[in-house]
Structure 1
């Protein structure tokens, strides 16, 4: 999708999968520039979101993100070395400023 103004005719009957893919493309297109301002892509945001609730192991992170296929098999490698997260001996967590309030 390159132009959100070119929306399909909502009167047409389309399968649910079509609309899910359309919605996914619209999210990707609108959120991409927002993520890019922080040097992230959608996958990086998913990693940060997953680790923002509580410390998580890399294995738990891989399991959590398995529902979101990505060409990157180990998405946490880049993110865990950045300033937005900190890696402990066995768990990943966000820096204090990136944590959800209790």
Structure 2
């Protein structure tokens, strides 16, 4: 269950901090801040559903989200599919 805490910003405006904690999954913790409570509740509900689905499917919830590729993933893909693959190349391309 997500917890939503009302906080005051510098100018006195309200902000809502959402914290999601999953103790059953190696104390996983995630947080996000919103300007209004409605958006905070909507995000918390959506994100908790995503986390629960990932745990049920056995996926790592700390990894990249489906459809989102990290820079490391892109670099690995480039090295694998590079036209220089299998050849000796410079330091910038590691050892293709």
TM-score, normalised on structure 1?
0.32
**Which of the pair has more CA radius of gyration?**
2
TM-score, normalised on structure 2?
0.33
